[in-house]
Amino acid sequence: MNTKEIRIPYDEFEGSENLGARVAELIIKAQNAADLAYAPYSGFYVGVAIELIDGQIFTSNNQENKAYPSGLCAERVGLFFVQANYPDIPIKRMVLVAKQNNKLTEEPVYPCGACRQVMVESAERQELPFEVWMAGKNRVLRIDTPDYLLPLKFLL
């Protein structure tokens, strides 16, 4: 038996310090998208902003459904839209936020397993990793590639 270890490098920012104007803008856009989410069952409103390499920005949010699990997470809504409509323009970064009771969560939220797999495959599809930013009120986390969110990803 060999014991191995997986390490995940990430950057942590306190509040909104040193994020840069573009990331701060994307966080606001993701928060606005979260406000438009359809989440009457969970009360958990998730918003995403996706920036393409050419500077275009698209937002998405989670969409719940009474016939659970027919709803879809904000990450997949955004990624599928971008890939369906702009398949030849790579994603540069994705910003993820969540709100409860009309307030940004204190801590960043992390994508579910299904979203992580889609994020990994999206980066593979475009043959270029993209940054993932997860923002909460107290801190913001940044990773260089979705692979860090799913190091033991599903492979064929």
Structure tokens given for 89: 């323009």
CA-closest candidate to residue 14, choices 93, 108, 99 = 108
Dist. CA 78–CA 60, nearest whole Å: 5
Q: How far apart are CA 141 and CA 132, in angstroms?
A: 8
Structural contact between residues 109 and 95, judged by C-beta atoms closer than 8 angstroms = no
Which one is catalytic: 75, 121, 127, 131? 75
75 assigned to active site: yes
Do 101 and 140 touch, CB atoms closer than 8 A? no
Give catalytic residue positions.
75
